[in-house]
Amino acid sequence: MTTTRAAGSAGGPEGAAELLARTRTAVDPRLRETVDSLPGQIRRIARYHFGWERADGTAASAHAGKAIRPALVLAAVHALGGDTRQAEHAAAAVELAHNFTLLHDDVIDEDPTRRNRPTAWTVFGIPDAIIAGDALCALALRVLAEDPHPAAQQASARLSACVIELCAGQQADCAFENRAPQDVTIAECLTMAEAKTGALLGCACAIGALYAGAAPDEVEAMDSFGREAGLAFQLIDDLIGIWGDPAHTGKPAGADLAAHKKSLPVVAAMASGSPAAAELAELYRGPAMDTATVRRAADAVERAGGRDWAQSQAADRMARAVHHLSRAVPDLTAADDLLALAEFVTRRTR
Amino acid sequence: MTTTRAAGSAGGPEGAAELLARTRTAVDPRLRETVDSLPGQIRRIARYHFGWERADGTAASAHAGKAIRPALVLAAVHALGGDTRQAEHAAAAVELAHNFTLLHDDVIDEDPTRRNRPTAWTVFGIPDAIIAGDALCALALRVLAEDPHPAAQQASARLSACVIELCAGQQADCAFENRAPQDVTIAECLTMAEAKTGALLGCACAIGALYAGAAPDEVEAMDSFGREAGLAFQLIDDLIGIWGDPAHTGKPAGADLAAHKKSLPVVAAMASGSPAAAELAELYRGPAMDTATVRRAADAVERAGGRDWAQSQAADRMARAVHHLSRAVPDLTAADDLLALAEFVTRRTR
């Protein structure tokens, strides 16, 4: 089997940025030709969502996200000695599935902006945004169904199962909104985060393994690596949502607290049963928080142990991720791209 | 290849009802076991939508629609000498895709009832209905991806492409709502109806042909048969929406006119350039119609030639459908089930 490096040796987080840039160079043409196969207005909405067009249909230069998931596909192929060029369509399929969830999540969560631009539903209306998301989901699976690679059908089974898990994660997330934060257990919250974030990162790695012709237990180990790294990523993201630097995150520190979001550090803090937990629960029962109250809430999360718990959970999840990875790739030096991506997503400041 | 009749010889519309009942007996267990594989709340919403459960989660006996699309899959397999038992999962997949579109269309069109029951979004909320629809779409394609039949991957490519066409049809339908009826051309309206209704009936027949191991030109002929029969069905449905018997249709005669719907007979009438067309356009510019105005509008559609046009188009489409069918099945006596189903959908009164 020919081994081609899509991205050269990444070697640490700086290398990850380079790897992501090279992935975009390799996968973007596939993504664009596929999206351009969509009919009329749906194509326009998708091109707007990806940042390739402005609302008036003129060309724009915004790029379509960081391409972490396609980079994981290609890095997994590479780590297992496969030909990354043959997996470029599969990498595009995973990115299409991710963007389907973004379109629908923005409608469901009524989010007004994404990647510093108005969300598609605010520009084209809710019906068209729902329809464009549906079309991207079908397109992701169409790309795999039309891929002649022998792993394509198994990849399709994994990706469609993963979409169902993403749906379950989003559904659970919505359901938590209607419950008191102290009634959401840490286990429920971790299951939700794994479904909403870990599942697709795991699926990306597993599809890469399939395209490299890996054995079933290696495919499962790759899936577990991506899931655990995804959970670490979500824990860090939740920490940033409370203590992050607004200059880097683009949103004020404590934004998740102000919005009464039941993020993992908050749920862990509530579960501690400490006086700080009771204080936090009281603040969550109150009205939308002002800046001073947000600071009090962040302090309560910290005193109740939510910050430490999330940090140690994230470290633990990364350790588990690396352990799973070593089951699939015993010589971890062959998996440096995957390790660099995992480090990148968990050390990012935005 | 073993030939098994799923449904015996149908022989006319009475036979079609029997064929549909037998299809439900064969496919419902597949459909139920597949839907029951969905996670938690999504499974509950899907089971409610299919009529198997009430809103409170107790068992209900309503059945999940007429099963026309799965019956077309099995009848196409049979007409081409295939083993219908091997296509039962594929038939279930087509029905899942159809129900995904129903869930989302009801959200988008804000329809309060379906099959005489409150729609899922009115019971579970819009977010959960969107999510459950997404999951059914992914489930449809998962069923094909997990089907070991050699035709499964080609079927998956066709079904995912068909979902994108269904999206385009629904998008066009929504866009027509915001345009004056005289600005919508007959060609646009026919394209929309083919995408929204014909495409999935064609896809069902084509998938049946694939599962029977048919040659590519036979698969295309079967797709064309289903598409033309689907257009005939839509034309008849639109006629019923204006002149149908409310005792049979469950909605008042003229409901489509009262709602200012740009159905095919209306668009054809508007395009006639006659005084009756001008009168109709005037009525469509006015407020919601009362019973007397609906009668005047129906009369104007008829005088402008919309009723005759739709009736002759429907007959023409059925003739084309049979012509395409004879390309795939030269001895049409082998295709009696398909012909019975085509007659059934175009002669139905509800």
CB A146 within 8 A of CB B145: no
CB distance from B171 to chain A under 8 Å? yes
Number of domains in chain A: 1
**Quick check: is B60 in a domain?**
yes
Residue A174: closest C-alpha in chain B: B127
Q: Do B39 and A135 touch (CB under 8 A)?
A: no
**Residue A190's pLDDT is what?**
96
Which residues sit opposite A114 in a β-bridge?
A117
Find the CATH number of the domain harbouring A271: 1.10.600.10
Residue B331 lies inside a defined structural domain of this protein? yes
The A residues from 121 to 150 touching B (CB cutoff 8 Å) are 126-128, 130-135, 137-139, 141-142, 145-146
- Does A25 reach chain B within 8 Å, measured CB to CB? no
pLDDT at A316 over 60: yes
In a domain, A324, yes or no: yes
Q: What six digits make up the tokens of A7?
A: 């991205």
Contacts of B156 in chain A (CB under 8 A): 141, 145, 153, 156
Chain A residues with CB under 8 Å of B153 CB are: 145, 152-153, 156
Q: Write out pLDDT tens, residues B119-147.
A: 999 999 999 999 999 999 999 999 999 99
The per-residue b/e assignment along A283-308, b for 16 or more CB within 10 angstroms, e otherwise, is bbeeeebeeebbebbbebbbbbbbbe
Q: What is the pLDDT of residue A258?
A: 87
The pLDDT value given to residue B8 = 42
Give the residue with greater pLDDT, B93 vs A181: B93
Instruction: Please report whether residue A295 resides in a domain.
Output: yes
Is there a domain that residue A52 lies in? yes
Query: Given a cut of 90, is residue A3 above it in pLDDT?
Result: no
Alpha carbon B135 to chain centroid, angstroms: 20
What's phi and psi for B32, nearest 5 deg? -65, -45
| SS3 of residue A211 by DSSP | helix
The predicted complex's ipTM stands at 0.93
Query: Nearest-CA distance from A37 to chain B in Å?
Result: 10
Q: Would you say residue A315 has pLDDT above 80?
A: yes
Share of chain A above pLDDT 90, in %: 81
User: Does residue B1 sit within a domain?
Assistant: no
Query: What average pLDDT is seen over chain A?
Result: 92
pLDDT in tens, A13-42: 568 999 999 999 999 999 999 999 999 999
Question: Chunked in runs of 10, what are the mean pLDDT values of chain B (350 residues)?
Answer: 42 77 96 97 97 94 85 98 98 98 96 92 97 98 98 98 98 90 91 97 98 98 98 93 71 79 94 95 91 94 97 96 97 94 76
Nearest beta carbon to residue B156 from set A133, A145, A172: A145
- Mutation target to probe the B interface, by most B beta carbons within 10 A, among A98, A109, A110, A131 is A131
Q: Which domain holds residue A212?
A: 13-347
pLDDT of res. B96: 98
Q: Where are the alpha helices (DSSP H) in A147-290?
A: 152-177, 186-193, 199-211, 216-243, 246-249, 255-258, 264-270, 275-285
Q: What is the pLDDT of residue B1?
A: 37
Please answer yes or no on whether A164 and B41 come within 8 Å at the CB atom.
no
Selected for mutation to probe chain A from B154, B156, B203 (highest A CB count within 10 Å) is B156
**What pLDDT shows up at residue A10?**
47
Specify if A3 maps to a domain: no
Kindly state whether A104 is in contact with chain B, defined as any CB-CB distance less than 8 angstroms.
Answer: yes
Q: In this structure, is residue B294 part of a structural domain?
A: yes
